[in-house]
Structure 1
Amino acid sequence: MPILTEDLKSGAGHYIVSEASGYRSRDVGTIVSGAGVLKPGSVLGKITAGGAVTVTKTDVGGGKGALTLAAPAYGAGVKAGIYRVVIVEPAANAGSFVVEDPDGIIIGNGNVAVAFDGVVKFTLADGATDFAAGDIALVTVAIADPAAMGKFTLYDPAAADGSAVPAAILYEGCDATSADVKRTLTARDTEVHAAVLTWKAGTTDNQKAAALAALAAAHGIIAR
């Protein structure tokens, strides 16, 4: 008589101990092409940098000082497009500014001659001529392959594309070897059975513990 074996990690949502009522614990996300064959219960990271990032700048001009980019000049979550650095409160040899992202959303406030450390990173220096309200410097971000941004792949603590931050758990398996795949995700407010979760090969116990702590703190996904 043949022996039948069953993969206990093949069922959708097998790792769930409890979740919120209705579908509040779940979302739909895109698993990025190249992620491979993933089982339900795979711990996922979200890609926030889709490729090589190039940052350039344009000064205010008119002898009003220069914007110096940091190294690196961007952080996790940076978008492709033009960031505007707008002077809002000018002062002699000083002043303050706001930074608007490519969608026109204000993402932070800063001061002249003080490093701005956001998704773009720079220092706006004072020049021979004082700034005036409304003066603008530009930070232009180009991403070689932005198509992957916002998609999910296996959590990888060594990744530089944003997936080093755990973001969700795959509810149902998929094959994303050669194409993007939409799947249901456990995104928030869920108790999960830690022992049956699936991790990227090589993830250490310490890295798993840190990832579970991060899921609990940021998403309310609690490991039991």
Structure 2
Amino acid sequence: MTNPPNLTQTPLVEQWHAGGFLVSEARGHRSRDVGTIGGAAKVYPGTVLGLQTGGVAAAWPGNPEQVNNNTGNGTIALASPPIVAGAQLGMYTLIATDATHFAVTDPFGNAVGTATAGTAFSNQIALTITAGATAFVAGDEFSVQVEAIAGAYVPLNPSASDGSQTAAGIAFGFTDATMNDVPGTVVTRECEVNGSELLWPSGATAAQIAAATSQLTALGIITR
């Protein structure tokens, strides 16, 4: 019996790169979608993603420059989800007209209603302002930045309840969403992937990975 020949060439070592986890995918770009990537993190190719529903927004006391010069020391809290029908991307402002009422304007300066301290407000954005020990005065201000309307893909979080606990796709390339949400490509359907190159959340259990793998299978993303 003849022995097989010895290899005389250096084996190819493939570096980590966009789409490197794919074994096969549908023709064209049917397996991929462009979406919003969030999670305040660097997201690498092969990261299993969940989809936060209801959009993404951030709120703080003060003006759009995040300078808090309010006299009143009350607080603002976004609802879950923080945005509702008609929301627009950009900065909403809420300016006090007296101790308990705030005029709300959209990113284009259009009035969208009056928020009353202690009462839930819901018109494009959903929130509640709570009065503090020191009363608000006219001119006190809150700002709400709407960063994504249709939801954002974030690294899978099995313990969450905002949609990101369910596997909804896989990051195709590298995106840096550390400071803010960014556009990115997500593999969402009809493909085969190399399971050894998928990135799961730290501490994910075997049962959680198995459940998420089944969720990917339901999307037509088959793990090999």
C-alpha displacement of 1:9: 6.7
In structure 1, the residue matched to 2:24 is 18
Query: For the structure 1 residues 9 and 211, does the alpha-carbon distance in structure 2 shift closer, same or farther, using more than 3 Å as the test?
Result: farther
C-alpha displacement of 1:162: 0.9
Q: 1:143 and 2:126 equivalent? A: yes
Mapped contact 1:80–1:143 kept (Cα < 8 A): yes
In structure 2, distance between residues paired with 1:21 and 1:152: 23
Q: 1:43 and 2:48 equivalent? A: yes
How many residue pairs get aligned? The number is 137
Query: For the structure 1 residues 9 and 174, does the alpha-carbon distance in structure 2 shift closer, same or farther, using more than 3 Å as the test?
Result: farther
Mapped contact 1:9–1:196 kept (Cα < 8 A): no
C-alpha displacement of 1:157: 0.8
C-alpha displacement of 1:37: 1.0
Give secondary structure in 2 for the equivalent of 1:214. helix
In structure 2, the residue matched to 1:80 is 84
In structure 2, distance between residues paired with 1:46 and 1:155: 8
In structure 2, the residue matched to 1:32 is 38
C-alpha displacement of 1:197: 0.2
The runs of 5 or more residues in structure 2 that have no matched partner are 1-12, 59-79, 87-121, 128-143
Query: For the structure 1 residues 179 and 196, does the alpha-carbon distance in structure 2 shift closer, same or farther, using more than 3 Å as the test?
Result: same
1:53-86 C-alpha deviation (Å, 9 max, x unpaired)? xxxxxxxxxxxxxxxxxxxxxx9x897249xxxx
In structure 2, distance between residues paired with 1:147 and 1:23: 26
Q: Which amino acid aligns with 2:179?
A: S
Mapped contact 2:49–2:169 kept (Cα < 8 A): yes
In structure 1, distance between residues paired with 2:57 and 2:169: 22
Q: Map 1:1-224 to 2 at 5 A.
A: 10-32=16-38, 34=40, 36-49=41-54, 50=56, 80-81=84-85, 143-144=126-127, 147-149=147-149, 150-217=151-218, 219-224=219-224
Give secondary structure in 1 for the equivalent of 2:34. strand
C-alpha displacement of 1:147: 4.0
C-alpha displacement of 1:148: 4.3
Q: Which amino acid aligns with 1:47?
A: Q
C-alpha displacement of 1:8: 6.0
1:101-122 C-alpha deviation (Å, 9 max, x unpaired)? xxxxxxxxxxxxxxxxxxxxxx
C-alpha displacement of 1:51: 7.1
Mapped contact 1:48–1:78 kept (Cα < 8 A): no
1:153-172 C-alpha deviation (Å, 9 max, x unpaired)? 00111112111111110000
Aligned-residue RMSD, C-alpha: 2.9
Give secondary structure in 2 for the equivalent of 1:184. strand
TM-score by length of 1: 0.54
In structure 1, distance between residues paired with 2:191 and 2:156: 18
Give secondary structure in 1 for the equivalent of 2:17. coil
C-alpha displacement of 1:206: 1.1
List 4+ stretches of structure 1 deviating above 2 A: 7-10, 49-52, 140-149
Q: Which amino acid aligns with 2:25?
A: E
Query: For the structure 1 residues 81 and 19, does the alpha-carbon distance in structure 2 shift closer, same or farther, using more than 3 Å as the test?
Result: closer
Mapped contact 1:41–1:197 kept (Cα < 8 A): yes
In structure 2, distance between residues paired with 1:189 and 1:176: 26
Give secondary structure in 1 for the equivalent of 2:24. strand
Mapped contact 2:157–2:201 kept (Cα < 8 A): yes
Mapped contact 1:171–1:185 kept (Cα < 8 A): yes
In structure 2, distance between residues paired with 1:159 and 1:197: 20
